Amino acid sequence: MFKCLSHRLLSLLLVAVIALSALSLPPAGRAAAADNGWSAALSSMDVLYDGYTALETANKIEKQAIQSLRKDSEARLKTIHTALTQIDKTKIARLAADSTASQNKHAALLKQYSDLGKQAAEARKRKDKKSADMLDLKRNQLKPSVDAAKSEIKRTKEALASAKKQAAAKAKMVRDALAPATALKKQVTEENKSIAAANKTRAASYKRYRAAVKSGGAITAAAELTLMYAQLDKIHLSQQKIYSWEKQILAAVQAAAAKLPV
């Protein structure tokens, strides 16, 4: 349908050229040519207006389809982002609690061991060998318990770090799957700028079209309607690109969701 309308639009443009060329004719011939151009423009506007209306309707349907895809993607994406914050959350919280409990449990013993070491060092500075030896004996007696405590604390910290690393790796797989969607969204944003520009041009042309209709200028009205149609066609092509990209975005979001841990 749109291809047929394009051919008719070309015919209309020829009518406009003929009308403009009439300006170079003698007065009598110019009047006759202008009248013929006006009549041709008026008769062509019937088809032109129908084509414009049909394309405008098609663009609205396309826009609704795009919005539906985007709404679906955004809802799924919101669910994914929430799920990412929950990956191994319970496990990590448990291991973090274990690590904290282990440190708290042995805090007094480790402080006592550290304090004895400092006291022994100070005694040696004072040349008080007896006190230094007594402090060393007490400290060395605690060493097996201290080593066991340190080992336990290290083990709980390593378990926590490992769990966090595994959770980060799982989240990275999901985010990597979302990477194509992020790139496509940038393309959509840029294409929307083209649509905004086309709509701005169309709005300006529409004002001139209404003025031409009000003044009875069929040739000008036809020319402006032709320009408006051309801008609608640009929007149509942009929306086709965006629709394709939105489908790819949805596919990427679905693929990312499938990578979430069960």
pLDDT number for residue 27: 54
- Is the predicted pLDDT of residue 210 greater than 60, yes or no? yes
Q: What share of the chain is helix, strand, coil (3-state, %, to 5)?
A: 95, 0, 5
pLDDT number for residue 218: 84
Picking from 260, 242, 190, the residue whose alpha carbon sits closest to that of residue 69 is 242
pLDDT number for residue 217: 86
Query: What are 104-149's pLDDT values in tens digits?
Result: 999 999 999 999 999 999 999 999 999 999 999 999 999 999 999 9
pLDDT number for residue 48: 83
Picking from 6, 56, 15, 68, the residue whose alpha carbon sits closest to that of residue 198 is 56
Domain ranges in the chain are 2-258
Query: What are 143-190's pLDDT values in tens digits?
Result: 999 999 999 999 999 999 999 999 999 999 999 999 999 999 999 999
- Is the predicted pLDDT of residue 4 greater than 80, yes or no? no
pLDDT number for residue 220: 87
Query: What are 86-107's pLDDT values in tens digits?
Result: 999 999 999 999 999 999 999 9
Residue 134: both structure tokens together: 């007594």
- Is the predicted pLDDT of residue 204 greater than 60, yes or no? yes
Query: What are 32-89's pLDDT values in tens digits?
Result: 444 556 777 677 777 888 889 999 999 999 999 999 999 999 999 999 999 999 999 9
pTM reported for the whole predicted model = 0.74
pLDDT confidence band for 14 (50 / 70 / 90): very low
Distance in angstroms between the alpha carbons of the first and the last residue of the chain: 49
Residue 65's Cβ-side half-sphere holds a number of Cα atoms within 13 Å equal to: 16
Better-scored residue on pLDDT, 76 or 29: 76
Q: Which amino acid makes up residue 142?
A: L
